[in-house]
Amino acid sequence: MLPIITEEISSEIFSEVFQDVQAWRKNMVQYLKEENPEVNTAILEVAKYDEGIDLKAVALGAYLSYRMIEIAAENEGLDLDI
């Protein structure tokens, strides 16, 4: 079961991300390459799959979700191995 993402967690991440969206996304790419390369590869593959969608927007949404789940798990003391 996934941890609960609270309004506080989402607000914290959104304020962090929206300071500089491009830099945050690039940092998450690097972070996930080291932390969980399989997830990073999956995000990029899905984002490239359909030419009609914006690669950066898809990746940003996936990275946002990953980070919110990661923080929620830490707050609940869970080890999700994500």
12-62 per-position pLDDT tens digit: 999 999 999 999 999 998 999 998 999 989 888 887 777 777 888 888 999
Closest CA to 14 of 59, 65, 72, 70: 65
User: What is the reported pLDDT for 22?
Assistant: 92
With a CB cutoff of 8 Å and minimum separation 6, the contacts of 5 are 68, 69, 71, 72
**0.85 exceeded by pTM:** no
pLDDT of residue 16: 93
| Residue 1: pLDDT band with limits 50, 70, 90 | confident
pLDDT over threshold 80, residue 81 = no
The 3-state DSSP class for residue 50 equals coil
